[in-house]
Amino acid sequence: MIVLEESTSTQTINLIPRKFTSGTSYNVTIINESTNTEVYNVDTTDIAEQLYFNTYSAIFPVKQDVTYTFTIKEGAEVIHKDKIFCTNQADLTDYTINSGAFISNDTDNEFITF
């Protein structure tokens, strides 16, 4: 799963496609899973090849706490498919979906036994 922030700055996605040819035009789409609407659709040659993976950088129109489907196609063939989750939570290594929503109860756990 790809984690992005709701931002007007360029963000980079790291990916490993099924196949890749440098300089080929690819279609990149992002679809909102809750409304099933397309929020991003671009034909691009800007997918960069790294040593063991590829990167794609752009300004993505994603909204906080929404899940998206991310697809890259070469013609009609899907070469990469993934999910995107958008969050503005600061520390993503300890990400929790209910950050700040859980309240713990203090108990003394005293049980009466007979």
Q: What is the pLDDT of residues 2-50, one digit of tens each?
A: 989 999 999 999 999 999 988 899 999 999 999 999 999 999 999 999 9
- Looking at the chain, the whole-number percentage of residues with pLDDT higher than 70 is 80
Global confidence as pTM: 0.76
Instruction: Give the pLDDT of residue 103.
Output: 63
d(CA 67, CA 69): 7
Q: What is the mean pLDDT of the chain?
A: 87
CA distance 36 to 91: 29
Domains in the chain, please, with CATH? Answer: 2-94 (2.60.40)
Of the candidates 53, 65, 47, which has an alpha carbon nearest to the alpha carbon of residue 14? 53
Average pLDDT of the segment spanning 94-112: 65
Confidence of residue 54 (pLDDT cuts 50, 70, 90): very high
For residue 29, give every residue at least 6 positions away whose Cβ sits within 8 Å of its Cβ, in sequence order, or none.
38, 40, 41, 42, 70, 71, 73
